[in-house]
């Protein structure tokens, strides 16, 4: 399952760092030895001043609420049907009605609160990394904006556990003692099973903030969520949920397509009922970029044939051109890192 910590359940704050968090730390200023650097389709906009990404909840928006909505409306329909049937058959009882109403009201209230974790909130909770002033700006679930110096955040692997755990990267704001967690946010990445991909995503963020390779990083970005000052469409939401890395995944389409369609509807409801996050003017001023910035990546640069891209069915020429561009950029970045750090890694 996805890591919904921070949305459905709160982060654990005012506590010391655990041994697992210390062992899994991602350190600023140290290169990770990875073969590939990945953006995980999380970039909203990238330029020479700031990198904005979606939150870790964005990729799975609609999945949880679709299941909750089925239960919510299922209970509601069952209650209405049972009530109508009892009246029609002259079996109506005020005592039974009161008991059933209380029972169903409790479940509808509980399920409704869970639905509101995705619906009637924000379309997403963006994160900005400003390489110019070395600050991170986090739009939090509670509506407040957290500002923190890049070098002072304690980044580490995080998982809620489970049989097939999902992994992410949490950023902890520590008290002056350097041990007590006073606030937490998460980077956009969320992977299941192996945590290896976390290092590839971490290097993407770290290189943007610390290395002289922004133009090469921009070449790695293939798909940007179109959520900057707007809501995504139903079509894009469905495409994002269905994104495939190989045609081998087509064999799961008969099973996954109905589930993706259901989640797509719930995702669309979440987007339509939620407000678009707006950065405070101070953050916008700090992130102002030049009109002629040579780096300007956004949803405007998304693949022309988006359905073919998300279904891993691009024309051979398009696929080879993109693959060659990304491979060349990745190799240039690795060469720069090797020149700067040698064999030294985190």
pLDDT tens string 301-315 = 999 999 999 999 999
H or E element: which one contains 324?
A: helix 316-341
Q: What is the pLDDT of residues 326-346, one digit of tens each?
A: 999 999 999 999 999 987 666
What pLDDT score was predicted for residue 97? 72
Q: Measured between alpha carbons, how far is 173 from 184 in angstroms, rounded to an integer?
A: 6
Q: Are 137 and 147 in contact (CB under 8 A)?
A: yes
Residue 190 CA: distances (Å) to CA of 2, 39, 198, 258, 323: 7, 12, 8, 23, 24
Model confidence at 53, pLDDT cuts 50, 70, 90, reads very high
Q: CA quadruple 259, 126, 200, 204: dihedral positive or negative? A: positive
Alpha-carbon gap, residue 110 to 41, rounded angstroms: 33
pLDDT of residue 346: 65
- pLDDT higher than threshold 80 for residue 57: yes
101 or 125, which is more confident? Answer: 125
Q: Is it the case that residue 92 has pLDDT exceeding 70?
A: no
Taking residues 310-321, report their average pLDDT. 96
pLDDT tens string 1-41? 578 999 999 999 999 999 999 999 999 999 999 999 999 99
Summarised one tens digit per residue, pLDDT across range 200-214 is 999 999 999 999 999
From CA 111, how far away is CA 104, in angstroms rounded? 10
pLDDT at 159: 87
Q: How confident is the model at residue 86 (pLDDT cuts 50, 70, 90)?
A: confident
- Give the model's pLDDT for residue 15: 98
Tens-place pLDDT, residues 129-182: 999 999 999 999 999 999 999 999 999 999 887 667 789 999 999 999 999 999
Helix (H, G, I), strand (E, B), or coil: what is residue 187? strand
Q: Is pLDDT above 90 for 98?
A: no
């Amino acid at each position: 399952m996805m890591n919904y910590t921070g949305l459905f359940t709160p982060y654990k704050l005012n506590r010391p760092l655990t041994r697992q968090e210390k062992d899994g730390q991602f350190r600023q200023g140290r290169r990770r030895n990875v073969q590939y650097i990945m953006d995980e389709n999380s970039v909203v906009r990238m330029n020479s001043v700031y990198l904005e990404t979606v939150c870790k909840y964005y990729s799975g928006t609609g999945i949880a609420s679709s299941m909750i909505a089925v239960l919510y409306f299922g209970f509601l329909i069952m209650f209405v049907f049972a009530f109508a049937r009892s009246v029609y058959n002259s079996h109506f009882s005020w005592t039974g009605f009161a008991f059933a109403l209380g029972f169903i009201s409790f479940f509808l209230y509980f399920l409704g609160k869970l639905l509101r974790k995705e619906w009637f909130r924000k379309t997403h909770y963006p994160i900005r990394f400003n390489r110019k002033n070395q600050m991170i700006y986090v739009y939090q679930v509670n509506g407040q904006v957290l500002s923190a110096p890049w070098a002072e955040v304690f980044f580490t692997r995080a998982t809620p556990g489970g049989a097939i755990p999902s992994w992410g990267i949490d950023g902890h704001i520590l008290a002056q003692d350097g041990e007590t967690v006073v606030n937490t946010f998460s980077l956009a990445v969320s992977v299941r099973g192996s945590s290896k991909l976390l290092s590839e995503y971490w290097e993407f963020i770290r290189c943007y903030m610390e290395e002289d390779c922004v133009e090469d990083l921009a070449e790695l970005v293939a798909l940007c969520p179109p959520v900057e000052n707007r809501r995504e469409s139903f079509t894009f939401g469905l495409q994002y949920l269905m994104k495939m890395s190989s045609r081998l995944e087509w064999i799961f389409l008969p099973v996954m397509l109905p589930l993706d369609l259901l989640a797509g509807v719930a995702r669309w409801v979440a987007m339509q009922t939620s407000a678009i996050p707006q950065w405070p003017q101070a953050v916008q001023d700090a992130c102002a970029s030049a009109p002629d910035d040579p780096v300007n990546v956004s949803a405007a640069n998304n693949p022309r044939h988006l359905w073919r891209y998300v279904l891993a069915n691009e024309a051979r020429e398009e696929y080879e051109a993109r693959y060659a561009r990304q491979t060349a950029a990745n190799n240039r970045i690795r060469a720069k890192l090797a020149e700067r750090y040698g064999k030294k890694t985190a």
